[in-house]
Homo-oligomer: A and B are copies of this chain.
Amino acid sequence: MSIDKKKKSKLPQKDELTPGGIKTVNAFISLLKKKEFDKITTAEIAKVSGVNESLIYKYFGSKRELLHTVLFYYTNDFVNNILLKLKDKKSSLDKLRIIIWEHINLFQNDLVFAKILLLEVRNYPGYYHSKTYGVIKKYTMITKEIIEDGKKNNEIRKDLSSWVIMQIIMGGIEHLCMPALLFKKYRPVDDLTNEFCEILFKGIRKGRSS
């Protein structure tokens, strides 16, 4: 899943980035796969991208901003992609299953992104005012709205806090993906999704048995 593709198909902001900017971002991502943020030098980015070092500052202001930009594209793309897939689903539980599957899938397949988002970026100064955090926020809000729709549709028990359910979903996914992240032990996305939904839905679904 390269940035180019994303930018062309989904991001409306695609013309914000010059060709040089795109090259920079891609070089940066490829480096991020090999080493952590702090070990990557701007000289290296310039060399790999073939773009002049100074242009990083013209385009992104700073190395940190470059990181936030990349993170923003990733997250934004992810959320837009989910929004697309949710369209033709009616059931709230089906929608939640989509979200869970996509989220797990992203984390398992895009380790770099997951590692930065889960382990690194939260300690960075300015993260909670970044655009990325805004997208994440939007994503959790969408999830919460789906849960609330589920309540209205009588798919989900009304006595549970939507926010708590949402947090369980987000936290649960993160923990399910940790082994892959830390120990590089992957499990099939379908399996993880099924197991997680089994517990989640049995526990929260409003039905005859409960």
Q: Report, as a range, how many residues of chain A touch the other chain.
A: 10 to 19
Least CB distance, A51 to chain B, in whole angstroms = 18
**A171 within 8 Å of B (CB atoms):** yes
**A118 within 8 Å of B (CB atoms):** yes
Assess the A175–B171 pair: CB atoms within 8 A: no
Task: Name the residue of chain B whose CB is nearest to the CB of A118.
Answer: B182
Chain B residues with CB below 8 A from A39, complex form: 38
- Report which of B118, B119, B175 forms a contact with A175, defined as CB distance below 8 A: B175
Copies in the complex: 4
Interchain CA distance A175-B171 in the complex, whole Å: 13
- Report which of B38, B119, B179, B185 forms a contact with A182, defined as CB distance below 8 A: B119
Chain B residues with CB below 8 A from A175, complex form: 175, 178-179
Task: Name the residue of chain B whose CB is nearest to the CB of A39.
Answer: B38
- Binary interface encoding of chain A residues 169-184 relative to chain B, with 1 for a CB under 8 A from any of its CBs, else 0: 0010011001100110
Chain B residues with CB below 8 A from A182, complex form: 118-119, 174, 178
* CB-CB contacts below 8 Å: A125-184 with B: 171, 174-175, 178-179, 182-183
Chain B residues with CB below 8 A from A38, complex form: 38-39
Chain B residues with CB below 8 A from A119, complex form: 119, 182
Chain B residues with CB below 8 A from A171, complex form: 179, 183, 185
Least CB distance, A188 to chain B, in whole angstroms = 18
Interchain CA distance A179-B171 in the complex, whole Å: 9
| 15 A–B contacts, CB within 8 A, in A order | A38-B38, A38-B39, A118-B182, A119-B119, A119-B182, A171-B179, A171-B183, A171-B185, A174-B182, A174-B183, A175-B175, A175-B178, A175-B179, A178-B178, A178-B182
Q: Which 3 A-B pairs have the closest CB atoms?
A: A178-B178, A175-B178, A38-B38
